[in-house]
Amino acid sequence: MDIARSIKELRESTGMSRKEFSEHTGIPVRTLEDWEAGRRTPPEYIPRLLAYQIKFEGIFVAKNEVKEKRNVSVIQDADGNKIVVINDIVFKGKRSIAWEDVEKYLKRYVGDIYPIAEDNEMIYIGSELPSEYAGSVYTKKLKGADAKAKANAAQAIPEMIEIATNGVFEVNRKAKHGRDAKNGWYRYDTRFALPVYGDDGNIERYNIFRGRLLIRHASSGKKYLYDILEIKKETGKSCQT
């Protein structure tokens, strides 16, 4: 992974100049210039710290202030494994999911970059994600609770990338992805929880789901979230928050 490039991409994702970014992060302008130009090599943990520090998150929120507030948090289970807790059911659909609404919702993320905490990889959100996520062959086969789970997981894309683990590489074997996935594919495990409401309208518990992030490695060297697959409820598991 090119650390210098990652730092530059993080800064550019905020729409800020080096001077503005320096003022918000506390990193001297000259240091930023040297890092981005490759004249000095920053420690490997720097991109991760930049992505998560409160000041950077403030910048990111300001850049995306048109986005609706998401009621999402990250917790740990009894084994210390992270789960993204989604506290609202936005896509309810009693009989079927309005996937066109899910696709529209996902467009808010296009152009964003999110880091995977486990390996510091930077994951981009490209323009193809909304349509692929909402209209893939896999999505069209989903029924009932699994369809509802995938639809509502759209609220937690940043956090589900953040907690992803166990990345596995696979070679691209499809000619149609010869360019956009020239360097292959990666699959990561992720987990999320959705609320279950009682008759009184209050949340009784949360059902826990597993999923697999499908990430394409483009010819540009960038990695893009392509879809979330293999969504399954963890049998017998629920949590209280």
Closest CA to 186 of 119, 94, 91: 119
Residues 24-70 pLDDT 10s: 777 888 888 888 888 888 887 787 777 766 344 555 555 454 455 78
> Residue 70 is encoded by which pair of tokens?
């998401």
What does the pLDDT look like over 107-153, one tens digit per residue? Answer: 999 989 999 999 989 999 999 999 999 999 999 999 999 999 999 99
pLDDT confidence of residue 55: 44
Name the pTM for this structure. Answer: 0.72
Domains of the chain: 3-63 (1.10.260.40), 72-239 (no CATH)
pLDDT at 84 over 70: yes
Instruction: Decide if 230 contacts 212 (C-beta within 8 A).
Output: yes
Give CA separation, 109 vs 82, 154, 201, in Å.
22, 10, 30
Report residue 129: phi and psi, to 5°.
-60, -50
Are 148 and 96 in contact by the 8 Å Cβ rule? The answer is no
pLDDT score recorded for residue 66: 41
Query: In the predicted model, is pLDDT for residue 239 greater than 80?
Result: no
| Averaged pLDDT score across all residues of the chain | 86
pLDDT at 186: 96
**What does the pLDDT average to over 189-197?**
95
Token readout for 208 is: 């826990």
What is the percent of the chain with per-residue pLDDT over 90, rounded to a whole number? Answer: 51
Query: Is the model's pLDDT at 225 over the cut of 50?
Result: yes
Residue 62 Cα to chain centre, angstroms: 18
User: Which has more pLDDT, 5 or 192?
Assistant: 192
Residue 219: is its pLDDT beyond 70?
Answer: yes
